[in-house]
Amino acid sequence: NMAALEIHVPMARAAVDVEVPTMVVFDLDPGEPATITECCQVALDIHDVLGRLGFELFPKTSGSKGLQLYLPLNTPATHEGASGFALAVAQLLEKHHPDRVLSQMTKALRTGKVFVDWSQNSRHKTTIGAYSLRARPRPTVSTPVTWDEVSAGADGAALSFTAPDVLARLADHGDLFAATQTLEQELPDLTGG
């Protein structure tokens, strides 16, 4: 990341323990002609499923074409457990919405669907950091958003922000992503153990 415009971060904090993820990410990637609108629709489905389990999620734009949902852990966890949990949620959504959700990585299957990229929880993967600029001709910012904004995005409202937009949002709303650093939530044991 030296001299880079984009800042990509792992799910673990290097200063604490790189083997212990502090969050689970659901990286929603639209396959054309799907857009962030469809990502927002899938995000609302994930929010509903995980909300029923008592989890709190934090959405942010990717600053590109997708959306990411973060489930803070800040409790003992493994990368394998985080990936397995994200995969199980992705497969559940794909089972109920096979026409618009995909859990498989095969790019040829993504047309018109939202790929729920669960593999971003792997030990050596990173995602664009909150508030990072994207290297584009018109630099946009990976921006934390509210669930009301995600709902509006599911109806077609734009979710694209520039650096001045984000500074104004911080002044108005504060840091919508701050709680991801401290909120403690535990993943369920999916191994049956």
pTM (2 d.p.): 0.93
Residue 95 lies in a domain: yes
- The answer to whether residue 57 is domain-embedded is yes
* 137 band by pLDDT with thresholds 50, 70 and 90: confident
Q: What pLDDT digit, counting tens, does each position of 77-126 carry?
A: 999 999 999 999 999 999 999 999 999 999 999 999 999 999 999 988 98
DSSP character string of 69-131: EEEE--SS--HHHHHHHHHHHHHHHHHH-TTTEE-S--GGG-TTSEEEEGGGGSTT--EEPTT
Q: For residue 32, is pLDDT > 70?
A: yes
| Domain presence at residue 134 | yes
**Residues 17, 19, 75, CA angle at the centre, nearest 5°?**
70
Q: What is the per-residue pLDDT across 175-192, written as a single tens digit (0 to 9) for each?
A: 999 999 999 999 987 666
What pLDDT band is residue 14 in, cutting at 50, 70 and 90? Answer: low
For the segment 143-147, the average pLDDT, to the nearest whole number, is 98
Q: Is the pLDDT of residue 164 over 60?
A: yes
Question: Who contacts 148 (Cβ-Cβ below 8 Å, separation ≥6)?
Answer: none
Domain-embedded: residue 193: no
28 class by beta-carbon count within 10 Å (0-12 exposed, 13-18 middle, 19+ buried): buried
pLDDT of residue 18: 80
- In the three-class reduction of DSSP (H, G, I as helix; E, B as strand; rest coil), residue 29 is classed as strand
How far CA 103 is from CA of 62, 91, 138, in Å, comes to: 19, 6, 31
Residue 129 structural domain: 14-181
**Residue 5 belongs to some domain of the structure:** no
| Residue 112, in any domain of the structure | yes
The answer, yes or no, to whether residue 145 has pLDDT greater than 80, is: yes
Residue 154 located in a structural domain: yes
The CATH number of whichever domain residue 142 belongs to comes to 3.30.70.3300
Task: Give me 133's structure tokens.
Answer: 């600029």
Residue 11 pLDDT: 82
Name the nearest CA neighbour of 65 among 38, 92, 103. 38
Confidence band of 19 (pLDDT split at 50, 70, 90): confident
The more confident residue out of 119 and 138 is 119
Number of structural domains in the chain: 1
> Under the phi-then-psi rule, with left for phi > 0, alpha for psi from -120 to 50, and beta for the rest, what region is 145?
beta
Residue 21 lies in a domain: yes
